[in-house]
């Protein structure tokens, strides 16, 4: 699985659909994503993550992506439906967590019980609502300027002038293309 950290868990979910190969192709990949991005503590039992969860997370991903892009000026067709669905998903209670002593004596986050899909969806949906309703966070929202890249991220760079999801990937491709255009023009 390709890992992209956008600065918000809801945008990290959107990023799973920005690649040629689906990042959340089934329950196992979804479970790995939930643990990898901290929605489930490491070592959480994934028995509850079943194939029915994946389409629900893909639906939330589509809603968040559509609403975030609409905030950046993309056509807002269907945004009202996406907003209604986001609000409905956010209404469920989030998974109950608790602090317990870990094997090394420090406090670790654990789940009160195996979470239900709706609780995890609510957690991500609430993060999206927090992002979309916070003018400060929304001002940092960007879409990568790479020609074929659809990644969204929060620009937390010093000058707030970040243009690409990654300087090493999209930024480098743009610099190489610019160099080739200059050489071709000679």
**pLDDT tens-place string over residues 147-170:** 788 889 999 888 888 777 876 677
What does the pLDDT read at residue 68? 96
In this prediction the pTM is 0.85
pLDDT at residue 41 greater than cutoff 80:
no
Distance from C-alpha of 132 to C-alpha of 126, rounded to nearest angstrom: 10
Answer for the pair 82, 53: CB distance below 8 angstroms, yes or no.
no
Q: How high is the mean pLDDT of the chain?
A: 88
* Range in 43-47, 81-85, 130-134 the model is least confident about: 43-47
**Cβ atoms 40, 115 nearer than 8 A:** yes
Q: State yes or no: pLDDT of 2 exceeds 80.
A: no
Res. 74 pLDDT band, cuts 50 70 90: confident
Rounded to whole angstroms, the Cα distance separating 76 from 170 reads: 26
Mean pLDDT of 170-177: 74
Minimal CA–CA distance to 12: which of 20, 23, 26?
23
The CB-side HSE value for 26 (13 A sphere, CA atoms) comes to 1
pLDDT, tens digit, for every residue of 125-148? 999 999 999 999 999 999 988 878
Confidence of residue 96 (pLDDT cuts 50, 70, 90): confident
Best CA proximity match to 41, nearest among 114, 91, 94: 114
pLDDT tens, 48-57?
788 999 999 9
- The residue count of the chain comes to 186
* Helices within 139-185 (DSSP H only): 172-185
Query: Tell me, what's the pLDDT at 102?
Result: 87
pLDDT-derived band at 87 (thresholds 50, 70, 90) equals: very high
């Amino acid at each position: 699985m390709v890992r992209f950290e956008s600065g918000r868990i809801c945008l990290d979910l959107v990023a799973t659909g920005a690649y040629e190969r689906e990042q959340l192709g089934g329950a196992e990949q979804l479970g790995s994503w939930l643990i990898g991005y901290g929605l489930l503590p490491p070592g959480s039992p994934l028995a509850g993550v079943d194939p029915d969860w994946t389409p629900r997370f893909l639906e939330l991903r589509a809603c968040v992506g559509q609403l975030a892009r609409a905030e950046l000026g993309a056509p807002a067709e269907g945004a009202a439906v996406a907003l209604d669905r986001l609000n409905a998903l956010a209404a469920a209670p989030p998974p109950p967590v608790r602090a317990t002593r870990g094997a090394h004596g420090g406090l670790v986050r654990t789940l009160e019980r195996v979470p239900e899909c709706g609780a995890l969806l609510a957690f991500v949906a609430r993060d999206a609502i927090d992002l979309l309703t916070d003018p400060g966070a929304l001002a940092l929202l960007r879409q990568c300027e790479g020609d074929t890249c659809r990644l969204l991220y929060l620009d937390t760079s010093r000058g707030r002038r970040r243009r690409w999801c990654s300087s090493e990937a999209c930024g480098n491709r743009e610099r190489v293309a610019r160099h080739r255009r200059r050489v071709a023009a000679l």
